[in-house]
Amino acid sequence: MAAPRFDVLGIGNAIFDILAHVDDDFVVNEKLAKGSMRLVDADEIARLYGDLGQVVRISGGSAGNTVAGVASLTGKAAFIGKVAGDEFGEAYRHDMRGVGVAFDTSALKDGAPTASCLVLVTPDGERTMSTFLGACQALTPDDVDPAMVADAEVTFLEGYLWDPEQAKEAFRKAADIAHQNGRKVALSLSDTFCVDRFRAEFLDLIKTGTVDIVFANEHELRALYETADFDTAVAALRQDAKLAAVTMGAEGSLTVTREETHHVRAASVERIVDLTGAGDLYAGGFLFGLARGFALPECATIGGLAAGEVIQHLGARPEVKLVDLVRQNGFEI
């Protein structure tokens, strides 16, 4: 088998983040579930946007953040996602290509605008998101370039892709092509409410091997197995998944296979500013490590370092070259 052209191909919702610092009362008054993502329509996002003061605009989207992280580590990365032909769509494409991610999905014409997500960041660094999917609703299986999937060592799919109408078909098409070409498929569970919406389907993907690598945080994992007990959930995951990485915030992460479980500590962080993208960047670092042949605990460490960088500033895209950070921590890349 030829060496893959890409270490990681991300498929996800191409979303522009609009981030604002707010106090806890703002989140409470809006009756939002802190730390989660909700879907909203155009009217609701306009209303909420109108209530925000100064904001910062940065490309986002879970899988998009992940592949931006892979590229920042010098990994070869690609992205499939739907933007509109508007200014934020152009900006999104710039940011992808600017960090070296291949991104050729055609822009949506004459339809909804580029997706946006209002990210409310509270003083504790937690982020609460309201997403208007916009052009992402128009992602179809036709947008999945078979050659790109065949050429990617890992195709990374975000659980959020289950939300837009036809994206899950794109997801399944990509998984099929990946496996036909001897490649691997990774899935992030994305969000506890997302898990609640699609629990049976996510479990089926994992149990049937449609997905080879699972990323989840502790809350999503407990939601998946509908248990309050973390160890019970990990034990169930160990049976169902070939390989999984479970993040636990400041407690670090677990790598889980049928044979063994490793606990890896979190990177030390001076000051948490904004948790947006922590899980996405962890996945990016982990998958980059896998592609470079590192052992699982080392992959988890690289993931932790990438996540540690992104939570120290606003937004889910690295502000520094992650490869420098990882080298400073003793990795030879």
Q: How far is the CB of 273 from a second copy (least distance, A)?
A: 8
Q: Which of 15, 68, 195, 216 binds a second copy (CB under 8 A)?
A: 68
Interface segment toward a second copy; rule CB under 8 A; list 45-53, 130-138, 145-153, 293-301: 45-53
Interface segment toward a second copy; rule CB under 8 A; list 29-37, 56-64, 103-111, 226-234: 56-64
245: contact with a second copy by CB under 8 A: no
Report d(CA 24, CA 35) in Å as an integer: 11
Nearer to a second copy, 72 or 255 (CB): 72
Interface segment toward a second copy; rule CB under 8 A; list 32-40, 98-106, 146-154, 226-234: 98-106
Evaluate whether 215 touches 63 at the Cβ level (below 8 Å). Answer: no
86: contact with a second copy by CB under 8 A: yes
52: contact with a second copy by CB under 8 A: yes
Residues binding a second copy: what is the number (CB under 8 A)?
29
34: contact with a second copy by CB under 8 A: no
Interface segment toward a second copy; rule CB under 8 A; list 92-100, 136-144, 192-200, 282-290: 92-100
Q: How far is the CB of 77 from a second copy (least distance, A)?
A: 13
Alpha-carbon Rg of the chain, whole angstroms? 18
Contact pattern for a second copy over residues 300 through 329, marking x by CB under 8 A: -------------xxx-xxxx---------
Nearer to a second copy, 72 or 128 (CB): 72
What residues make contact with a second copy under the rule CB under 8 A?
21, 49-50, 52-59, 68, 72, 86-88, 91, 94-95, 98-100, 313-315, 317-320
